[in-house]
Structure 1
Amino acid sequence: MTGRLTDLLDLVRAPAALTVIGDTLVGRTNARGRVDLSAVPLSASSVCLYAAGMALNDYADAELDAVERPERPIPSGRVSRETALKVGAGLTAAGVGLAFTAGRSSGWISIALAASVWTYDLVAKPTRFGPLVMAACRGLDVMMGAAGPGWRRAIVPALVVAAHTASLTLIARGEVNGTTSVTAGATAAASVGAAVATVAGSAPHTTAALLGGAGYLAAALPSQISAAQHPDAAHARTAARASIFAMVPLQTALVARTGASAATAALLAVQAAGTALARRRSKGDVT
């Protein structure tokens, strides 16, 4: 039983689920300047939908992974393809249900988010539109938290998160066969742009936004620049991993700029937990 649970956690990339907890906090704090108890089911919804996407990713890529990544749960025989589909469907239903407990408007956005997740994994991933669909997933996740009064104030933060997501999706495509210097350089430029957009309009909490933006760049930029200099598969994979875990510092900066200290502290704790897990799981699959 323990082994099977571990295999399922590998299937859904459990450590990387920490990177979505803050999406709805970004939306809620930028829309209303604070969080309330509804943040709990919304963050749980995000985690469920993210995990569903990971399971569906492996379901859709089973044949390709048998060639490129035979260590993954399905090609290695640890999890069946049918089980992966059931896990994806079950987590999708759970995610949508949790969102509706937080409010009808959040629930409807969760349906759009779920549809985007399934579209990415089953249709769009190998196409030129893949990064855009994945970006839409994360942008909708932010807006799920913002649903309700003040939602327009969360549009820019949602676009910042979406832009970061699109750039990391592009560089992640080079994890097996390598990327290009142009792609890695564009990813680095997108990170700088995201940091600038985070600080812009952050008054009267500019100092907090600056500190948060600096932390985000420190997490994302070094490996992205390294990949631009050496665009082989190993550097692309390292840059993709760093870009994924840099999502939490980005979320922290976007929340800090609103002055929501409790939510900022919560994300700093998530960031610390993610760092600890990354050190213990340096070779784990996160994409």
Structure 2
Amino acid sequence: MGLRLVTRLRDLVELVRAPAALTVPGDSLAGAASAGWPGSARGVALLPVASTCLYWAGMALNDYADREQDAVERPERPIPSGRITARTALGVAAGLTAAGVGLAAAAGGRTAAVTAGALAAAVWAYDLGPKTGALGAATMASTRALDVVLGATAGGGAGVRRSLVPAALVAGHTASITSLSRGEVHGTSTASARGSAVATAAVAAAVGLHSLRTSPNRASGVVTAALSGLYATTVLAAQLKAVRSPDGPTVRRATGAGIRGLVPLQGALAAAAGSPAVGLGVAASAPVGRWAMKMVSPT
């Protein structure tokens, strides 16, 4: 019985891509920093937990929705391999969605609850709708944008406007990575891989320009530059390899690098808002995430 329980827990960890959630708290922290840390410390602390629940819900729902395709392309995943039933995956997704919205409401009241509800709706729309094409990428990008905005709602809606630029930059990165990820199994075109590389360079440059406008002191500017440089170099290195060789395994590695690259990007945005220590703290989770994602694939 004990062994069976351990196996089931491991299967659930794989279902929700648990380690990949280390890329999530930085969204709401960047949003909270851009809004001037609104509300109580308890509220600010709860929102990353709410975001994580919604992220895990999306991962479980993704495998539920893609179970027939995965049976052909990725039979090792929990549902097609028979380790998790489709009904269980759907139940996990629903339960985590309810938990995420409830925690957001507890953290920031009506504004946070409405934002989390919109985020949950976008997650479900992406997973249950068509994932290919510009609409799919835009829907996925909206989930990360709303996640950043969620961090600004801890004290109500007063700081939401100041979170919109960081939200747009995270969304741009996410759309690029989502488009690239379509080639994880069968490969992609050189043009698609090149487009993702150009988008990464553009986001890094935009972070620098944003920092010039918002950084209140030299320390913030220096940390922003360092973290945006780390973001650009690590993500671009993998994407340029995909440009040269756009086969499935290379694209999969570039996608993984893009997912991990969210962390220094989030850190740079927090630093640009005047919270360099938070930015460095967010970035410091990257090595842990890289190690954990070797155990459980984030894609």
TM range (shorter): over 0.9
Residues of 2 paired with 1:33 and 1:47: CA distance?
19
Residue identity opposite 1:114 in structure 2? A
- The range that moved more, 100-109 or 269-278, is 269-278
Match of 2:23 in 1: 19
Residues of 2 paired with 1:98 and 1:134: CA distance?
22
Contact persistence 2:224–2:276 (CA under 8 A) = no
Match status 1:170 vs 2:179: yes
Match of 1:242 in 2: 257
Q: 1:208 aligns with which of 193, 198, 223?
A: 223
CA offsets, 1:216-258, max 9 Å, x none?
A: 1122110101101111111110100100011111101111112
Match status 1:59 vs 2:64: yes
1:269 to partner: Cα distance: 3.0
1:33 to partner: Cα distance: 5.4
Residues of 2 paired with 1:201 and 1:12: CA distance?
33
TM score, norm. by length of structure 2: 0.91
User: Structure 1 regions of 5+ residues with no counterpart?
Assistant: none
1:11 to partner: Cα distance: 0.2
1:37 to partner: Cα distance: 2.8
- SS state at 2:129 partner: helix
Match status 1:197 vs 2:206: yes
Give percent identity, aligned residues only. Answer: 47
Residues of 1 paired with 2:284 and 2:228: CA distance?
17
- The range that moved more, 142-151 or 105-114, is 142-151
Contact persistence 2:37–2:152 (CA under 8 A) = no
1:276 to partner: Cα distance: 2.6
User: Structure 2 regions of 5+ residues with no counterpart?
Assistant: none
1:32 to partner: Cα distance: 1.1
| Aligned residue runs from structure 1 range 73-152, under 5 A | 73-103=78-108, 104-147=110-153, 148-152=157-161
Residue identity opposite 2:119 in structure 1? L
Contact persistence 1:33–1:260 (CA under 8 A) = no
- The range that moved more, 269-278 or 193-202, is 269-278
- The range that moved more, 5-14 or 262-271, is 262-271
- The range that moved more, 75-84 or 100-109, is 100-109
Q: 1:254 aligns with which of 266, 269, 284?
A: 269
- SS state at 2:57 partner: helix
Residues of 2 paired with 1:201 and 1:214: CA distance?
14
Residues of 1 paired with 2:283 and 2:255: CA distance?
21
Residues of 2 paired with 1:4 and 1:25: CA distance?
32
Residues of 2 paired with 1:215 and 1:126: CA distance?
30
Match status 1:29 vs 2:29: no
Q: 2:7 aligns with which of 3, 19, 42?
A: 3
Match status 1:225 vs 2:244: no
TM score, norm. by length of structure 1: 0.95
Distance 1:139-1:232 versus aligned 2 partners, 3 A rule: same
Residue identity opposite 1:13 in structure 2? R
CA offsets, 1:78-136, max 9 Å, x none?
A: 00000000000000000000100111211110000000000000013245410000000
- The range that moved more, 121-130 or 167-176, is 121-130
Distance 1:199-1:33 versus aligned 2 partners, 3 A rule: farther
Distance 1:33-1:197 versus aligned 2 partners, 3 A rule: farther
Residue identity opposite 1:285 in structure 2? S
CA RMSD of aligned residues (A): 1.4
Distance 1:124-1:39 versus aligned 2 partners, 3 A rule: farther
Residue identity opposite 2:14 in structure 1? D
- The range that moved more, 51-60 or 265-274, is 265-274
- SS state at 1:37 partner: helix
Contact persistence 2:223–2:276 (CA under 8 A) = no
- SS state at 1:70 partner: coil
